Structure formats: structure tokens, C-alpha cells
Structure 1
Amino acid sequence: MAFMRTSKFRHVFGKALRKDQCYDNIRITKSSWDSTFCCVNPKFVAIITEAAGGGAFLVLPVNKVGRVERDVPLVAGHKAAVLDINWCPHNDQIIASASEDCTVKIWEIPDEGLVKNLTESVVDLVAHQRRVGQVVWHPTANNVLLSAGSDNKIFIWNVGTAEVLTEIDTPDLTLSASFNYNGSKLVITNKDKMMRLIDPRTGEITAEVQAHHGAKPSQAVYLKEGKIFTTGFSRMSERQYALWDEKDLSKPLVMEEIDNSNGVIFPFYDADTSMVYLCGKGDSLIRYYEVTEEAPYVHYLNLFQSSDPQRGIGYMPKRGLNVNACEIARFYKLLNSGLCEIIPFTVPRKSELFQDDLYPDTAGDVPAISAEEWHAGKNADPILISLKDGYKPVKKEGIKAVKKSEALTKMPSKKPASSTAAQDHSEEASEAASSGPAHPPENAKPVPSGQVEGFDSQALLEDIRKLKLIVKAHERRIKTLEDKLAQFEANSPDEEEQEDQA
């Protein structure tokens, strides 16, 4: 006699809200890039839109449902299509966008939402040579952002200073990237069918394996306790999921076929409930599973089915859910018709009291460590909050948009601010001097000698940073040309050999 496994999530069910409770009339992007095109947080929903002559995305307050006006204000500062967007987990008004114009931009959305087009970003992150397709925030460190581009590079940024902390060369295009629970490790999937584990501080590839054998894109997400969940395709183009242990990638703990559809499956992971939701592009289904510590590890729970296929999907963080209705997940599903459908997933309970077993303490919006501490080698788990009395956002300082490199709020520093600025200034100045002469940027401002009063150190630091980027680009180009020359010389026969042959 077979026993049914008991789980409090066996009866989770999803039910889409009525059309008038959703967002309608959105010009959703027609891009073929494999992205979710939508991201949400407790304050805003952001959706990449179709824009002529540039890249734009829409930001709406979560409670502003209904028909979206044709002339609604947009975030419209990119020169080419926007490919990915991601809300900062530690500040609900900060969003990062990646674009075909080779840049990553950081935006601050006003508290009440957009009242006019936003074209001025607070920080521009410029280092990629080709389009940027992924942006992922660090889960616990303040102002740390990952970007991955078609130049086969991953950059880990300190957004507060607009500096690159780590530059990682990858063998092929990066299709997905995910930090582990405390952000000390990174898993990526590449176009060459490989899944790689990386140390995000050093850029060292610590392990790699061919996760799925199919040619179509695979995705990976880091789970708790060192597990990794992947989705991809078999050689016969069947869709699969697999679970791996980071300590031994020689074979998966589980690998199962799902179906024969051809859309990329995006996995969404809830660390509090150990549930994984699988949303396929072009599907009309959302499947959900529970991951446990003992075999068979991944347990199928149920699926949500609707009549319309999804063009993109957004996943609400736990802080934004209605705990009084026993809501454990909420998805924002983009349809080809221009509708953004809201689908809450709930666990049926008769009691109206707070359900402790459904809502263990969850990650809050306060960073555990600063970017500098993380880069120096410190690790910290997310700071957890209770949802018993509902989520209350922590008051954030305003952004100082005047000084671009100080655009994002910094963690309190242990050193006096003046000594830190002076030290950074001297370090950057000496590094720029050793790099040799380069053409100054067009907007570099000359600083009168001997001027101390009103001395703009930020402008100088910004100019030095741009000079360093120019020098780096020239160094890369010189190295490429030297390699080509060496290859040419190795392949061409010596003059003496040519004379002998003559």
C-alpha cells in the first residue's frame, strides 16, 4: 500500500483576478530575447515595452490597476532596446535595466510613481562591449549588482561608486545567473550547454558540468543548502528539470522530463517554503514543486492553467503578499493581448489568524553588509523580518542625484567619510597616472591649480574613472592585435624556407 506524502502545500491553488483588477492596454515588447520582461516589488510593477527609436519600460504603482493610458510616462533613457530589468531587493524605488546599447542604468522611481518620462538615470555602468542581457542584484550586500553581456563577460559592480569589483570572462554567452542564499557563490548557464559555479569575488570557475544536452537555452537557480535547480532541454528537445548538489556535479540528484513544448522555462524559487515554480515562455501553465532534503527530493504539487500563453512573467517577493488571505505567491503574467494578469496562489485555511507555518521569517529590505565588506570577503545571510503584522518598509535616505557616483545610499562607514574620500581619491589618481596618457573625455572639466574652495573632487573622480575605462579598452585592443600578429607569424613560413623552395 502506497502512502501519500503529507505536505501543507499539496492544496495550493492559483486563481487569476478579474480583468478590471489587472493592468490592461500595455504595449509589451516584441523582443525575442529570453527574458521575463517583467519584475515586481511591494510598491511597483515594471514591464519592458515596445519603444520606437530607443529602449523603454513602464513602471506602475502596484495598486494602480485598470486600463493603462497610451501616453503613460515611461523610463526612457536607453538608446536601444531594454532586454532585462530588476528591482533592488534593499530599496523598492531603485531598478536596474540592461540594454542592447551596451550599458546598464540605475534608476530611482519617485515615491508616487512616474508623472512624466524619466530619462535621467542616477548611475550609468559602462564596461560591456556588446549588448547586456542580464542584471541580477546581490541578495545581501548593499549596492552590488551583476551584469552579463554578449561580449562573454560578467561584471560585478559596486553601484554606489559605479566601479567594477570583479570582471569574469566566460567561454560563451551567459543565459542565466543566480547567487546562493548569502551571495558568496554564483551559478551561471552558458550557450555552450554548460553550467558553471563561480566565485563572484575572484571570478574563478570552481566547477562545471553539462547540465542539459539540448541546444536550447537552460536556466539555473541556487537553492538553500547548496542545491541547484536547473531547467533545460534533452537531445530530443524534451523539456527537463534537474536538481544538483554543489559538492558533486558528476550526476544530478534528480532529472525529470516535463513535456515537449519549445519555450524556455524560467524557475522561481521561494526559500521560505522550498517551493519552485516553473513558468514556460509561450505556455499557459505554471507548474509548482516542493524541494525536500530526502529522496526523491523534488515533489510535484500541482499546476495552474489558463487559456492564454504567457509572453513574460513577474514574481512578487514575499514582503508584498497578503498574509491575511494565506497568499504564498503572486505572479504577474504578460499576455500577447497587452494584459498583465495577476495570479495569487493561496493555501486554503479556515482560521483567520496569522499562519506561522506558512510564513517563517523572510528576507527584509535591509542589506546585511556593505559592498566593501562583501568584496573584502565577508559573508552574511539576509536579515529576516516577521510578516505577522504585515510588511512595513524601512525608511530609506533620499538619493543624491547631483553627485552621480554617490547616487545610491551607502551603508554607514566605520571610517570618517572625509578620510575615505581622500584615500579613494589618492588611490584612483595614482592608478590613472600609472596607466599612461589617454585622451580626456569631452566633458572633463579643468580644475584651476591651487583651488581648494569649491574643489569638485567628485567630477575629478568621474573623469579619472572614464579615463581608466578608455585605457582598459585600448589595452584589450592591443592584446587582441598582438595575439593575431603572433598567430600570423607562427603560421607564415620563414624567408629561408621560401628561398630553398624557390
Structure 2
Amino acid sequence: MAWRFQASKFKNTTPRLPKKEDTIFDLPIGNLSCSNNGIQASATYLAFHVEGEGGKLGVVPVGTKGRKLRKDISLVCAHGDQVDDFCFMTFDDDLLVTCSRDDNIKVWHLSDETATPSLSCEVCVGHGVLLDAMKPHTTASNLIAASSLGNAFIVDIEHKSVVAKVDGFTDKGYSLDWSEDGKLLAISADKGRQVCVYDVRSGTSPLQKLNVHQGLGRESRVLFCGDRLLSSGFTSKRTQELNVLDVGKWDKPIHTQEYVSTTGILMPLYDPDTKLVFLVGKGTNKLFIAEFQSKVPYLSPVYEMSMAEQNLGACLGSKRCVTVMDGEIDTLYQLTRHSIVPVSCIVPRRSYRDFHADLFPATRGPNAGCTSDEWLAGTDALPTKISLDPGAANSKSSSSPSSCTATAANCLPRTTEKDVSATVPKSIIDPVSSQRTSDVLGRMDSEKISNSERTDSHQGKPEVRELVYTVDDISEKENEVRNKVASHHKQADVLPECQKLDLSSSEELSSVSPDTVAPIRVRQLNKGDGVIGRSLSARVRPKSCVVGQVASKFRHVELKANTAVFTNLRNVNTQLPLETNGACTSGKFIAVPLKGPAGIVGIYEVDKPEKLPDGVMDGIFNKALVTDLHWNPFNDEQLAVSTDVGSINFWRLTTTDGPRNEMQPEKVLNMGGNKVLCFQWHPMASDLLAVALPDNSIEICESKTLTRRTKIISHSAAVIALAWSSDGRRLISIGKDLMLNVHQPQLGNECLIAQKKVLERGHSGRLLYACDDRLIVTVGMTRSSSRQVQLFDASSLQEIYTQQIDSGTQPLVPYYDYDSSVLFLSGKGSRIINMYEVCYDPPYLLPLTPYVAPGIGQAIAFHNKKMCDVMAVEFQRAWRITEKAIEQLIFRVPRVKKDMFQSDLFPDALVTWRPVMTADEWLAGSTKAPHFESLKPDGVTALGDILKSSSVPSTVLSSAAFIPKSIPADSEPKPTAKLEASLKKAEDIWSSKIEERTLEQDDMEGVSEEEWTEAL
């Protein structure tokens, strides 16, 4: 098994999104209904579909950047009907071939930098033949394969004739591909369920008919990947599926993998030099990178990325155009509704000063191995390969004078030391957090009001000034703030030292039109009532810096699944309202709603995972449909369940209970007959909760006395989500009126202090506070069913960042861990848990390794921080509910030395399991601060203490560094006794862990020196 430790050179391949100014934006693309990849690239040009004109294609030269309107691009008026497929010829970068269902195959010649098209020739394959897909030959020039209904044609565009024809497949051919040596042709047909493999020169019948997928699809893909054949389709449950077959061993797939449930196909793109497969989800924003291996697993995952926008198409750029001296092994072009995004795929190395020949083997050159006549006569000559080394002479070859303007030699950055210094800003500015608090937006925190405003206010009653801002009032200044902070999906510029740099104004794009800004309503408050703003201090959370980019210390999170499982679960309620999370857990129990009109909730002890007994599922009966449920955060035995008849049942549950179907609720809070939409317990005050009702109101209720204390009416439609700030002073809500409202309930009736429209659809939504209550995170859906996360500054409601996660019909349910600042995103009916570390500064969302479960889930319930085993480097625990089981998930960070407390990962935890005050104290206006508690077990040494004790104080180092050489050695400063004791303690600690003359790595199998790369 030693081969497993021989890590691939490309296992750390990382896609890097460009800045907006490095993309091509404002293109007239729109919504596409084509069944091809939407975009194709040669070494010279990019061709793509354009909006509203199915028979036309847009063309721009490779390397184009900035805003390009319809008048700025070249249009190829190819056909009268929609272009069904198009491609560039493999060995002529200037020839674009198109086909349509009502016309001949047309060959277009593109010339000069404006990509002016001219019709080179037409080829008629037969009267009434409807063509669907095309693919140029991989070794011979001027040959192209085109598929139709039950037939495929081999066309010689030089002689303008059909030279061969194959048949034998069902329905139309959705996709086709040539093998790398040009001998075999594969066609995907029968709505993606069938793949036929042909040897075109030996006969018209298929060599193999393969049944690869069970589901029917509007599209399918087939792709030769070296000696493998990859097929992309769907399962019978409409889940994206990949099948990998070994060429020559067609009996069954050697690898099968399912992805997400969606209607869009996974578009596979293959790089034969690196053996990497890029899987782009059409209609989603997902990009998966995998690598082919010679042994199990044959298709190994490398990277998963959520793109900024929805994918309409994708293609790989020419290998001859990669920037080899930046470690760029491939360029992926993403086609979106309004832009083309070149995504650079980088392999991180410590230095790029030298050419890394191991990353860039010789690649296929621009000259064909043989002509079409020679290939038809039986020649199998392969194209000549060229080196990508900028110093190699043949790296500059091209197929035409107008070919790739950025060949390997030209792509080498010739930056001198003077140039580098000129590009680095001269000063380092404060974090962007200081920029986001705009003067034009009203400050919600009362401590921000000037002294003059305090003295002018009335005594005994707080002064409230309502400031209503509209688009016209603030558009200019708000767009100025956006340019300073970051545009949507704009990556932060970070040097290897991870410094934040002030981008010069010259780099800003003057041609970018300002986005439409929703009006913000903000009220400014004074301190007359003692209610102040955010009480939490900003916590510094350490980050890593990898290849000049900020990365999370949790990015390699690993999940220990199935450690405890409840099996034989039945009758899970899969039709709960969208406002509820679906399940909840305390330190002792898990509560799972079950099917039925009686509102049954199953209760399971977390310490006793087992196979549940057969028969009728036991649980508590609420006698009405359940709408929401939450455990009391300060009492592991009290469960609150809201119903659709306007009551909240409070249950007292213990481990000694008998059959729970005979139990009665301890208390019932009647909400006046109104259906309870959702509710949230207060995070600091005991027995206090906020309840959303269908009359657009929010009520603050006390469970101990069953009283309704305060009523808030601020929405014009029903509330769909609530959330408290960590200090319990602010309550935020979103409703079906698409508005985000910020309340300070301790102010009384006039508690609405800010309001802004944040959602596109009122279908569903979630929200929460993050980053020490400095950010508000909302999770919603766009009109095109894309699920997205938005970040807003909590003090001004200024929109900071938007990230599209994926597409789906069910809303994403977020959970935020305050101490690690990790945001967990999961959806009902999904197998994926996406994780991000939320930052107050760019890039705002740092991706973590997502978890992909083997089956779909219904809900996820998280524990509080106290349940984590910090010595096992666990930073979160949860339970995942499926239709047949409840499985425990443990989120851990891989660390080698687990006998020490990892203080960099576990700062003092926010205490959420003990109340800070009573409900009466909070209602009386108490502003006690939250409590924090160390998670370090007694008798355990913290890693931070060891690092501090083993490091020499800076004062000693600085003084020793500047001692003149003429001073005798005995007169130099001696280490203090305290320092010597610290060093001795550190030496003793580490010496006890290392045996004499034996190191831990002596027993490990190493790799060759050239295999070493910097790990992400």
C-alpha cells in the first residue's frame, strides 16, 4: 500500500477566481436553452452563445478583459435557427465550425484581433438530417464527427464531403468524443442511458453498446480520458452521476459516483497532461476537480468550489496559453448570464522563479499527426508534442500568425525588482472594517452619538431620530463605500505576508455601472435609557496564509461520521414548514418530528444510540401539527414545541420517563389561537423567547409565568425567521415582505431601529449574527432558485458580500459557531454540508472542505460547545437525521500533537449553556455582558503557553542584534533567570517526547525531493 503515500503533484490544485476587472462582463448572454457547453476556446479566440439570437455566436480574442457590450464583440451570424453545437478545429485556431438542425455544417474563418468572421465552406450531410453535436478529430486535420438521429457522420471539411457514416444507437446523439489516439469514437444516446463505441474505419456498427445510466436526461456527456471512458448522466432519482469504464474492459464501470440532485448535467472537461477532470454543474454554481489514478479510487477528488455565479457553460483554454511561471496548469472559462470568467487553476509551489517541468509535461502541439486522407488510409500518427518551457524554442510554435498571443514564452512575467516595488502600495491601511461604517448611514449604536446630541436630548425618555435613506440620497456615497470595501465576489489582494493593501484609485473600474441599492431605514438612538449597542469586543481569529491567500485554520476539517447511530428510524416528518429547522438537540436528548396529525415528536437519548424497536414509534403527542421546536438552551430537559393551533407546549423530559406517548406537557403557552410560525429562545436571559405570529407580529414571552410581555409589529407580511444577537440586546427578523428588520426590544414600543430589503423571494430565508455581532448573515433564494448567502454590516445594514452556494428547491439552513466563526450550511434533501469561516474583512467567506454524506438528509441538529472533546480537536458535534437513521457527526481539525490544548483553535468559549440574567432583569433593561469560559481541561498544557515560553523576548533579541562586534563576548547581555527557566521548561517538555537518537519520521516512508509542494 506504499503507493498511497506517493502523493500526486496535482492533489493541491486550487482554482483562483479573478478580480472583476480581469473578467469579461456585461456581455449579452442571458438565459441559454442550448444543450451544448455554451462556450468554446482555441488558442486565439473564445466563442459563445448570445442572448435572444439562437443562430448567432459571439467571438472575442483570448485575453480580452473588461466591459464588452454587444457593439464591442464580433457576431457570427451562423444559422437561421438555434446553433445546436459549435467547436474550434483542433489544429487550426482560427476555424470555427457550427451546426444547426435546419442547416448545413458551416466553417467560419476568424481573422485579426477583431475576430472578423468569413464563411469558409459549407458541408451538406444529407437532406433533412438534423444535427445535434460535433467533435473535431484529435490526431488528423480537417476531420470532424457530427451526430444526428440514430446516425453519425465523419465529415472532411477540406474536401467538403462525408467520408464515413455510423449507426446503431437509439434516439439522437447528445454528445460524442474521439479517443486520444483517434482510433475510437464514443457517442452518448438514448437520453443519456446508452453509450456506443465505434471504430469508424472498420465498420458502421458499434463495437460496444453500454448501458451506463438509469435516469432520463435532457442532456448527457461522454468523454475519453486516456485509457478510461467517462460518462455523465443521471440516476433514476434525478441525481447527477458519473460512470468510469476501462477501455477494453466494458463489462461494468470501475468507478461510479453520485453528486447532487438537480436538472443540470455535469459537464466534464479533461486535461490529458495532468489527468485532471473538471466537472462543472450546468445550472448550478458548483465546480468539482478530480484526478484519475491507476488504482482505487480511480477518480480521486481534488477540490470543490462554489462559484460566484450560476454556470451556463464552461470550457478549458488551450494549454499553450497557460502562464507556466505562475504555476497555472489550466484555465477554465466559466460562462454566466452576463460574463466570461477565466478561472486559473494553480498548483502551489514555494517559488515560481524557475520552470517546474514536473507540472508541465510536453503537450500536444498545433500541428496534426496526419491528414484526413492519411488517417482514412490507416495511419495513426500522433501530433508532435511541444514543451511549455519558456526557454524551449518549440514552445513558440503556432498554427497561424494570429494564433495564441500568450504562448508559454510570452506568458512568462518579466517583472524586475523595480517593477515589483512599483506595484506594491506604499502604505498599509487599517482593516476594511473602518471603511464600512459610512457616515451617510445612521449609526444604530447609541454610544456613537455625539456629546452635543446627548445634552440636547430629553431627560428620562430617549431621543429617537428616524433617518430614511433612499437610493437617490445615498447611491453616490454607498457606491463609493462599495468600491472601498469590495465588489460582489471580488477577491482580496493579499501578499504572501497576508497584509491588507490599499488599492490605488487607478485600479478601480470607472466603467462599472453602480448596482441598484435598496433603501435603508435607520434610526439613531441616544443613551438616555441605558441601552447601548454591541457589547462584544472584536475577537482576533488567527488565519493561515497559503501561496499569498488568506485561508482558514479549519480548512482541512474532517468528519468522523457514524460513531453513534440510531437505526430503524421510521415515519420522519418530511413535510414540516419551511420556517423550522426540522430537529433539535440538547446535552441529553434529540427531538425529531414524526409524521401524523397528532404532532408526534420522537425523543432519543444521545448517550444511548441503538437500533430503535419495531412497532409504533414512541414520542410525545402535541395533538396538533408541529411548526417549530427548540430545547431550552439552559435546561437540557425542557423542550418547547409550537403548533398550528396557536400554542407552545413545554415538555419536561428525563431519562427515567416511561412510555412518552402517555405524557402531558408541563406547561402550555396560549398565543391567542394564532398559528405560531417560529420562535427563538433568548441567548442570555432564562425563560424568555421571541415568537413570530401570522398577524405580522413578534411577541416576547416568558415561559416561567406563561405571560406575553411585549408585542412588536414592524413587518407588512408574515415573519419567516428570527435571530438574537449574542449579547441578547438585538432581535433581527426577515419576513415575506422581503425586509430585514433590526429591533432593540428593551426600547419598548419604538424598538425598530433599522430596516432594509434583502431577499429576492419570500419563499424562505434564515438569518443570524456573526463575527462578534458585527455582521448579519442572511441565507435566501434568488428568483432562479439559486441559494445564496449575503453579508451585511450590522451597524449600517450596508451589503458587503454575496456568495451563491448552489441551486435547489429547499432552503439552506445555517448554523453559526461563535467561537470558531464557522458557518455550516445544509439543506433538506441534500447530501452536502458546506462550511465557511466568516471574516469581517475580505475575502469574507473562507471555504472549508465540504462534507458529502452517502445519502440525503432531512435535518441537522448541533450541540453547544460544551459537548466537544477539545483534546481530540473537536470543534463541533451534530446529529444528522435521515429518513431511516440518526447519525452523529464530529467535526475535527487534524493535528499531530493532541496531548496539548490547541489554544489557537479554542479561544474562550461563549457560554450558551448558563443564563446570565433572569427574564425580569432583561425586561427591566439590564445590559449584562455575555460570559466566556475556557475549554482547557485541568492539568493540560496549552500550546500557546509552550510557544510563548520557548520564544525569546523581542527586547532581548533586538538588543543582541545591534551589539557592536568590538564589544567582548563576556560583556554582552546575559539571559535573565526567568528566561532561562522558561527555556529549560520548554526543553524538558519536548525532550520527554523524543526518544534518544530516534525521530518519529525515521519510521515513515518518504517521497522524492521533487514531490514536495506546499500543502494547502
TM-score band, normalised by the shorter chain? 0.7 to 0.9
Q: 2:123 matched to which residue of 1?
A: 125
Q: 1:453 matched to which residue of 2?
A: none
Q: 2:59, 2:397 → 1: CA distance? A: 19
Q: 2:59 matched to which residue of 1?
A: 59
Q: 2:262, 2:74 → 1: CA distance? A: 37
Q: 2:86, 2:30 → 1: CA distance? A: 13
1:51/1:81 contact within 8 Å kept: no
Taking structure 1 as reference, are residues 73 and 239 closer, same or farther at Cα in structure 2, changes over 3 Å only? closer
2:282/2:313 contact within 8 Å kept: yes
Letter matched to residue 241 of structure 2: Q
Taking structure 1 as reference, are residues 397 and 259 closer, same or farther at Cα in structure 2, changes over 3 Å only? closer
Q: Which moved more, 1:19-28 or 1:389-398?
A: 389-398
What TM-score, normalized by structure 2, do the two folds share? 0.37
Q: 1:28 matched to which residue of 2?
A: 29
Q: 2:398 matched to which residue of 1?
A: 394
1:29/1:48 contact within 8 Å kept: no
> Alpha-carbon deviation of 1:94?
0.9
Q: 2:347 matched to which residue of 1?
A: 347
* RCO higher in structure (CA 8 A, sep ≥6): 1
Q: 1:246, 1:51 → 2: CA distance? A: 41
Q: 1:139 matched to which residue of 2?
A: 138
Q: 2:158 matched to which residue of 1?
A: 160
Deviations 1:231-285 (A, max 9, x none): 1111122211121012222211111212222211111111111111111101211
Q: 1:134, 1:37 → 2: CA distance? A: 12
Q: Secondary structure at the match of 1:250?
A: coil
Matches for 1:129-278 after TM superposition, within 5 Å = 129-149=128-148, 151-169=149-167, 170-192=169-191, 193-201=193-201, 202-216=203-217, 217-225=219-227, 227-278=228-279
Q: 1:262, 1:67 → 2: CA distance? A: 31
Q: Secondary structure at the match of 1:20?
A: helix
Letter matched to residue 205 of structure 1: P
The answer to whether residue 111 in structure 2 is matched with residue 107 in structure 1 is no
Q: 2:86, 2:334 → 1: CA distance? A: 15
Q: 2:373 matched to which residue of 1?
A: 372
Letter matched to residue 164 of structure 2: T
Taking structure 1 as reference, are residues 13 and 257 closer, same or farther at Cα in structure 2, changes over 3 Å only? same
Identity of matched residues, %? 25
2:188/2:220 contact within 8 Å kept: yes
- Segments of structure 1 that go 5 or more residues without pairing to the other structure are 399-502
> Alpha-carbon deviation of 1:29?
6.0
Q: 1:213, 1:252 → 2: CA distance? A: 13
Letter matched to residue 292 of structure 2: V
Pairs aligned (count): 391
Q: 2:318, 2:289 → 1: CA distance? A: 16
Q: Secondary structure at the match of 1:372?
A: helix
Q: 1:114, 1:363 → 2: CA distance? A: 24
Q: 1:19 matched to which residue of 2?
A: 20
Q: Secondary structure at the match of 1:200?
A: coil
1:103/1:131 contact within 8 Å kept: no
> Alpha-carbon deviation of 1:63?
2.2
> Alpha-carbon deviation of 1:221?
0.6
Q: Which moved more, 1:386-395 or 1:99-108?
A: 386-395
Letter matched to residue 156 of structure 1: I
Letter matched to residue 135 of structure 1: M
Bigger Rg, which one: 2
Q: 1:102, 1:152 → 2: CA distance? A: 18
Matches for 1:463-478 after TM superposition, within 5 Å = none
The answer to whether residue 283 in structure 2 is matched with residue 282 in structure 1 is yes
Deviations 1:260-318 (A, max 9, x none): 22211111111111111111101211101111112221111111222311011121121
Taking structure 1 as reference, are residues 143 and 13 closer, same or farther at Cα in structure 2, changes over 3 Å only? same
Q: Secondary structure at the match of 1:93?
A: strand
Q: 1:397, 1:340 → 2: CA distance? A: 25
Q: 2:401, 2:12 → 1: CA distance? A: 42
Q: Which moved more, 1:263-272 or 1:100-109?
A: 100-109
Q: 1:341, 1:146 → 2: CA distance? A: 29
2:74/2:114 contact within 8 Å kept: no
Q: 2:112, 2:145 → 1: CA distance? A: 25
> Alpha-carbon deviation of 1:153?
2.2
Q: 1:296 matched to which residue of 2?
A: 297
1:238/1:258 contact within 8 Å kept: yes
Q: Secondary structure at the match of 2:170?
A: coil
2:215/2:236 contact within 8 Å kept: yes
Q: Secondary structure at the match of 1:205?
A: coil
Q: 2:19, 2:58 → 1: CA distance? A: 22
Letter matched to residue 78 of structure 1: H
2:366/2:399 contact within 8 Å kept: no
CA RMSD, aligned part only? 2.1
Q: 2:397, 2:67 → 1: CA distance? A: 28
Taking structure 1 as reference, are residues 5 and 255 closer, same or farther at Cα in structure 2, changes over 3 Å only? farther
Taking structure 1 as reference, are residues 69 and 228 closer, same or farther at Cα in structure 2, changes over 3 Å only? same
Taking structure 1 as reference, are residues 142 and 187 closer, same or farther at Cα in structure 2, changes over 3 Å only? same
Taking structure 1 as reference, are residues 251 and 95 closer, same or farther at Cα in structure 2, changes over 3 Å only? same
Q: 2:50, 2:101 → 1: CA distance? A: 14
2:93/2:399 contact within 8 Å kept: no
What TM-score, normalized by structure 1, do the two folds share? 0.74
2:90/2:141 contact within 8 Å kept: no
Deviations 1:165-200 (A, max 9, x none): 111223321011111111110111102511111112
Q: 1:215, 1:223 → 2: CA distance? A: 24
Q: Secondary structure at the match of 2:105?
A: strand
Taking structure 1 as reference, are residues 33 and 62 closer, same or farther at Cα in structure 2, changes over 3 Å only? same
Taking structure 1 as reference, are residues 188 and 214 closer, same or farther at Cα in structure 2, changes over 3 Å only? same
2:32/2:312 contact within 8 Å kept: no
Letter matched to residue 281 of structure 1: K
Letter matched to residue 179 of structure 1: W
> Alpha-carbon deviation of 1:4?
6.1
Q: 1:267, 1:99 → 2: CA distance? A: 23
Q: Secondary structure at the match of 1:286?
A: strand
2:273/2:361 contact within 8 Å kept: yes
The answer to whether residue 346 in structure 2 is matched with residue 333 in structure 1 is no
Taking structure 1 as reference, are residues 79 and 109 closer, same or farther at Cα in structure 2, changes over 3 Å only? same
1:174/1:190 contact within 8 Å kept: yes
Letter matched to residue 57 of structure 2: F
> Alpha-carbon deviation of 1:51?
4.8
- Segments of structure 2 that go 5 or more residues without pairing to the other structure are 403-1016
Deviations 1:380-403 (A, max 9, x none): 2232110002742435499xxxxx
Taking structure 1 as reference, are residues 102 and 11 closer, same or farther at Cα in structure 2, changes over 3 Å only? same
1:100/1:130 contact within 8 Å kept: yes
Q: 2:69, 2:275 → 1: CA distance? A: 39
Letter matched to residue 226 of structure 2: K
Letter matched to residue 256 of structure 1: Q
Taking structure 1 as reference, are residues 395 and 11 closer, same or farther at Cα in structure 2, changes over 3 Å only? closer
Q: Secondary structure at the match of 1:155?
A: strand
1:312/1:333 contact within 8 Å kept: yes
Q: 2:422 matched to which residue of 1?
A: none
